[in-house]
Structure 1
Amino acid sequence: MQTRVVFNQKGGVGKSSITVNLAALSAQHGLKTLIIDLDPQANSSQYVLGEEAVITASQGVLEPNIENYFQDVLGVKEQKGLIGNALGSLLKTRSKGLESYIHHTRFKFLDVLPASPHLGALEHALESKHKIYKLRDAIQPLAAVYDRIYIDTPPAFNFYTLSALIAADRVLIPFDCDVFSRRALQTLLENILETQDDHNDRLEVEGIIVNQFQAQAKLPREVVAALKADQLPVFDAMLPPSIMMKESHQKNLPLVYLAPDHKLTQAYLALFQEIEKGRG
């Protein structure tokens, strides 16, 4: 099993789109694949589950989800029925593995552990009770079930992002070709290295995914050249801008299922193959 976290502290760089489309390609290639959505915006969850994961006036948060898992880790959900005491509640919830919170999607070999917009309310309690290794420990038994896990993260370096980095083998960094993204990259890499030193010595930066790359424009070419000059691991396959991505979101269909021959889909395929080929 290979676990990858898609991480950038800057928002709007395509984390969820990259997470879902690489996971979909993984599944399409016959690899049993799980998406874990740790972003309270739940974009990855909605992308693959559609209306089922959308909160409306008549429909609440989809459950079970990753919030429920962390609630059970804390023992804050009281069990109703015959087991009413706190000890019984803790024993019952601790016996549940992460697989109890996972949803199947309509796509073969692709599952998702959905996010919740209420994750922020649990963060302080999780930090204060030192639950930072719980996600890693819960993921390890899934090696018997899944070949690949992709973790989508919030645009911040917080408890959930750190949990993902501790649980992962590799980091994929989405990157928009602008000056602000390049300036933020140094801080991001420092946070990854600190996590590697303090919590997860097997963690590797697998590569930087250049998104919204306009090959004909001068600035994007210069930014990419600067990254390579700094000897940063930039993937050769770069993702061009396309209205097709918005259509993919709207129809809740990853690109490989919506438009397999489209140039953006083919760019994702090249990226996926480059990632898989680079595995040690």
Structure 2
Amino acid sequence: MRRVVFNQKGGVGKSSITCNLAAISAARGKRTLVVDLDPQGNSSHYLLGQPASELKNTVADLLEQTVGFSVFNRRPDEFVHGTAWENLYVLPASPELEFLERKLEAKHKIYKLREALKKLGEEFEEIYIDTAPSLNFYARSALIAAERCLIPFDCDDFSRQALYNILNEIRDLQEDHNPDLVVEGIIANQFQPRASLPKQLLRELMDEGLPVLPVRLSSSVKMKESHQSRQPLIHMAPKHPLTRQFEDLYRVLAGESVELEPLAE
């Protein structure tokens, strides 16, 4: 299974959702890989404890092979890093992704990520892809490489307008490049249950027939603490309400039965 967590809008929690779902997958005993395609490298730093600028053997090095700048062609698994947690691995980002992007585009290498991830899929049961907050070459590559797409939504009107654009872009990519890509759903993040506007927006999206997931991820300082300690919530605070929400989200995406509270009026 290859899942991309994507939104063109920044600050919606893509990296947090990617890493915490992957950590839950690994904790369940599944060999799990996070692919970080954001030059900022937030997912890489979160799970490996080092800034992306200090890492070697990155996804940039892997992709650079495809444009003929490397003497040796190495296997995709040679760029994978282990983490402190069993079954959880990272193909880390690099600031070099920004400089490499034009070269990859010029040589029409949009399918190379999919080829690499299919090979890695022989070793990993679940692959999670994090992208930068833009529909750039790497985001398109990820959407072409993925089988499923999860869209974080932070419950404001700007995010709503961006959501419509994202869904249109995904439809175009499905038609032209990846008909097997499934939009799993829209996940409300940093949700404030006592505020009326977030609930109103979610109800309106559901009335429009959009695939809003029944789990909502609350706003919590615990997530910031998790970032600071470089520990996914399942390891840092396994009994915290936000951790349980992530576990519910994982179960929903896995098609398991979950008892959830309906969206209050």
Q: Which bin holds the TM-score, normalised by the shorter protein?
A: over 0.9
1:191 maps to which of 154, 160, 169: 169
2:198 maps to 1:220: yes
Identify the range of structure 1 (118-127 vs 257-266) with the bigger mean alpha-carbon deviation.
118-127
SS in 2 for 1:231: coil
Deviation of 1:240 (Å): 0.4
Q: d(CA) in 2 for partners of 1:54 and 1:203?
A: 31
Q: d(CA) in 1 for partners of 2:118 and 2:63?
A: 16
**Equivalent residue number for residue 84 of structure 1:** none
2:58 maps to which of 49, 55, 65: 65
Q: d(CA) in 1 for partners of 2:250 and 2:146?
A: 18
C-alpha deviations, 1:189-218, integer Å up to 9, x for none?
011111100000100100111001111110
2:51 maps to which of 50, 54, 76: 54
Gaps of 5+ in 1: 78-88
Gaps of 5+ in 2: 257-265
2:127 maps to 1:130: no
Taking structure 1 as the reference length, what is the TM-score of the superposition?
0.90
C-alpha deviations, 1:242-264, integer Å up to 9, x for none?
00001000000000000000010
Q: d(CA) in 2 for partners of 1:147 and 1:132?
A: 23
- Pair member with larger Rg: 1
**Equivalent residue number for residue 211 of structure 2:** 233
Deviation of 1:37 (Å): 0.1
Q: d(CA) in 1 for partners of 2:129 and 2:106?
A: 23
Deviation of 1:22 (Å): 0.3
Q: d(CA) in 2 for partners of 1:225 and 1:97?
A: 47
Q: d(CA) in 2 for partners of 1:140 and 1:268?
A: 26
**Equivalent residue number for residue 13 of structure 2:** 14
C-alpha deviations, 1:118-139, integer Å up to 9, x for none?
2111111101101000010111
Taking structure 2 as the reference length, what is the TM-score of the superposition?
0.95
Q: d(CA) in 1 for partners of 2:148 and 2:113?
A: 15
Number of matched pairs: 257
1:105 maps to which of 80, 83, 94: 83
Identity %: 50
AA of the residue aligned to 1:262: H
Give the root-mean-square deviation of aligned CA atoms.
1.2
Deviation of 1:65 (Å): 0.2
- Whether the 8 Å CA contact 2:121–2:127 is kept in 1: the answer is no
Deviation of 1:266 (Å): 0.6
Q: d(CA) in 1 for partners of 2:69 and 2:103?
A: 10
**Equivalent residue number for residue 81 of structure 1:** none
Q: How does 1:1-280 map to 2 (within 5 A)?
A: 2-50=1-49, 53-54=50-51, 60-77=53-70, 89=71, 92-93=72-73, 96-277=74-255
Q: d(CA) in 2 for partners of 1:38 and 1:143?
A: 17
AA of the residue aligned to 2:12: V
Deviation of 1:23 (Å): 0.3
Q: d(CA) in 1 for partners of 2:4 and 2:119?
A: 18
